[in-house]
Amino acid sequence: MTRKMWGLIPVLDCSQLLRLCPSQCKPCAFPITTPDPRVDSPQRTMSDQAFVTLATNDNYAKGAMVLGQSLRNHNTTKKLVALIGPHVAEACRDVLHSIFDEVCVVDVVDSGDAAHLALMKRPDLGVTFTKLHCWTLTHYSKCVFMDADTLVLSNIDELFEREELSAAPDPGWPDCFNSGVFVFTPSNETHEKLLTFCGENGSFDGGDQGVLNSFFNTWATADISKHLPFIYNLSSIAIYSYLPAFKQYGHDAKVVHFLGQSKPWHCSYDAQKGQVKGHSLSSDTCHLHPDYLLMWWQVYAKSVVPLLQQAYGDTPFNSGFVEASENGKLHEDVGEQPSHSAPPPPPPPPPQKATSEERKQRWEAGQIDYMGDDSFANIERKLDSFLK
């Protein structure tokens, strides 16, 4: 229906077409109406407020599962909503529906957003438009959006006492808020304004955080009550950039955010030893705080993997677990037939130990050796020696 309608629209400039789009081609979310196995759960409470997350593929769906389960584990009284992309596997959708109250498929291509992106020549904004669909959840009076790479450490229902747009400062630029956790009020009018704003201004960082900071541009100065404490969106990267503050305030953390390209699901887990395996991690991944990384995997192993096993049945899937083979070495349980690829090349020789001045220069340049001299344990040990 949408594609046919676009074929009948006369040639208009971008601003004219964008004014037509919000009302006639409004992006839509389609609920999955599968049975809810938690309908009789004693902890379930009817509410017109909801936590909302987004998963555009199977990996992020696993993150959403862990996030949803961590909210359940800490006895939230709010509804849980997952927005998912059309490429999320049916088995993952089934698991999401067993954790979340509502699972909505958001199809960017067929919702009219493709026309916006083509006119603006900004394909990078596709994910941004998808995340902005959360404002269309108007059957809720207030929501808290949480990225799928966040983990809840305690009950955070008090966030619903805040108003739109409440968020925590970003560790990279504190006058900007981080869009991984924010309080908002669903509104079709706001959603239309956001789409129009995207069309006219784009995003200064190519993603949703740039758009939202530009749209809600008084956050830094207008109302301090809309500044969430950093403990509601604790960046695992920030722990290393200001370790003394983490030692002082870290025990109060309520939400940890695994920022960066590397995510917990990129690691492997030894369920027998209860250890996240570092041998398969890149240096980028190792900035993730080991305690929080282990917490994520414990929730995943205990509550999510059994649901995935049930949903996939005999179909192979990547669990992320590693098991001991007969020769005592570890291999990853990917649930697939072993490949016959060439053996990996031998590891490179260990680098020469850097001098103190070289380490300082690398640290200031952002080249931190998370696996070696600059590991969390070494930094903590050095800091303790100064504090004694």
* Structural domains in the chain (count): 1
**Mean pLDDT, rounded, for 337-363:** 55
The 10s digit of each residue's pLDDT in 26-78 is: 444 444 444 444 444 444 445 899 999 999 999 999 999 999 999 999 999 99
pLDDT at 8 over 50: no
Q: 355 is written with which tokens?
A: 């001098």
- pLDDT at res. 118: 54
**Mean pLDDT, rounded, for 142-171:** 98
Q: Which percentage of the chain shows pLDDT scores above 90?
A: 49
pLDDT greater at residue 383 or residue 234: 234
- pLDDT at res. 85: 92
pLDDT greater at residue 284 or residue 138: 138
The 10s digit of each residue's pLDDT in 280-331 is: 444 444 457 889 999 999 999 999 999 999 999 999 999 999 864 444 344 4
Q: Where are the alpha helices (DSSP H) in the chain?
A: 2-8, 14-24, 58-73, 90-99, 113-120, 126-132, 188-201, 208-215, 236-241, 243-249, 290-299, 305-312, 356-364, 376-387
Decide if 332 contacts 280 (C-beta within 8 A): yes
pLDDT at 368 over 90: no
Q: Cα(265)–Cα(280) distance, rounded to whole angstroms?
A: 12
Considering the domain boundaries, does residue 35 fall inside one?
Answer: no
Considering the domain boundaries, does residue 355 fall inside one?
Answer: no
The 10s digit of each residue's pLDDT in 19-37 is: 444 433 344 444 444 444 4
- pLDDT at res. 262: 85
pLDDT at 275 over 70: yes
> What is the rounded average pLDDT for all residues in the chain?
78
Considering the domain boundaries, does residue 386 fall inside one?
Answer: no
pLDDT at 109 over 70: no
- pLDDT at res. 154: 98
Cα–Cα distance list, 380 to 9, 235, 254 (Å) = 63, 18, 22
pTM, rounded to two decimals: 0.73
Q: Which percentage of the chain shows pLDDT scores above 70?
A: 63
Cα–Cα distance list, 48 to 25, 82, 90 (Å) = 26, 15, 27
Report residue 231's pLDDT band, with 50, 70 and 90 as the boundaries.
Answer: very high
Report residue 107's pLDDT band, with 50, 70 and 90 as the boundaries.
Answer: low
DSSP secondary-structure letter at 227? B
Of the listed ranges 128-142, 205-219, 277-291, the least confidently predicted one is: 277-291
Decide if 250 contacts 235 (C-beta within 8 A): no
pLDDT at 224 over 60: yes
By C-alpha distance, which of 188, 183, 234 is closest to 78?
183
Core vs surface per residue 164-195: b (16+ CB within 10 A) or e:
bbbbbbbbeeeebbbbbbbbbebeeebbbebb
Query: Is the alpha carbon torsion for 359, 360, 361, 366 positive or negative?
Result: positive
Q: Cα(196)–Cα(190) distance, rounded to whole angstroms?
A: 10
Helix (H, G, I), strand (E, B) or coil at 284: coil
Report residue 371's pLDDT band, with 50, 70 and 90 as the boundaries.
Answer: low
CA 352 vs. chain centroid, Å, equals 37
Report residue 16's pLDDT band, with 50, 70 and 90 as the boundaries.
Answer: very low
The 10s digit of each residue's pLDDT in 321-338 is: 986 444 434 445 544 333
Q: Cα(18)–Cα(145) distance, rounded to whole angstroms?
A: 26
- pLDDT at res. 302: 96
Report residue 6's pLDDT band, with 50, 70 and 90 as the boundaries.
Answer: very low
Report DSSP letters for 132-149, one per residue.
HGGGG-TTSSEEEEE-TT
> Residue 192 belongs to what domain range?
49-312
Query: Is the alpha carbon torsion for 214, 215, 220, 226 positive or negative?
Result: negative
Task: Enumerate helices (H) and strands (E) in the chain, giving the number of each.
Answer: 14, 14
The 10s digit of each residue's pLDDT in 159-208 is: 999 999 999 999 999 999 999 999 999 999 999 999 889 888 878 887 88
What's 243's domain CATH number? 3.90.550.10
pLDDT at 2 over 50: no
Considering the domain boundaries, does residue 34 fall inside one?
Answer: no
Considering the domain boundaries, does residue 341 fall inside one?
Answer: no
Report residue 372's pLDDT band, with 50, 70 and 90 as the boundaries.
Answer: low
Decide if 191 contacts 135 (C-beta within 8 A): yes
**Mean pLDDT, rounded, for 258-269:** 90
Considering the domain boundaries, does residue 117 fall inside one?
Answer: yes
Q: Name the phi and psi angles at 235, rounded to 5.
A: -75, 130
> Residue 210: which residues within 8 A CB-CB, separation 6 or more?
203, 204
The amino acid present at 69, given as its one-letter code, is Q
Considering the domain boundaries, does residue 153 fall inside one?
Answer: yes
Considering the domain boundaries, does residue 388 fall inside one?
Answer: no
> Residue 272: which residues within 8 A CB-CB, separation 6 or more?
323, 324
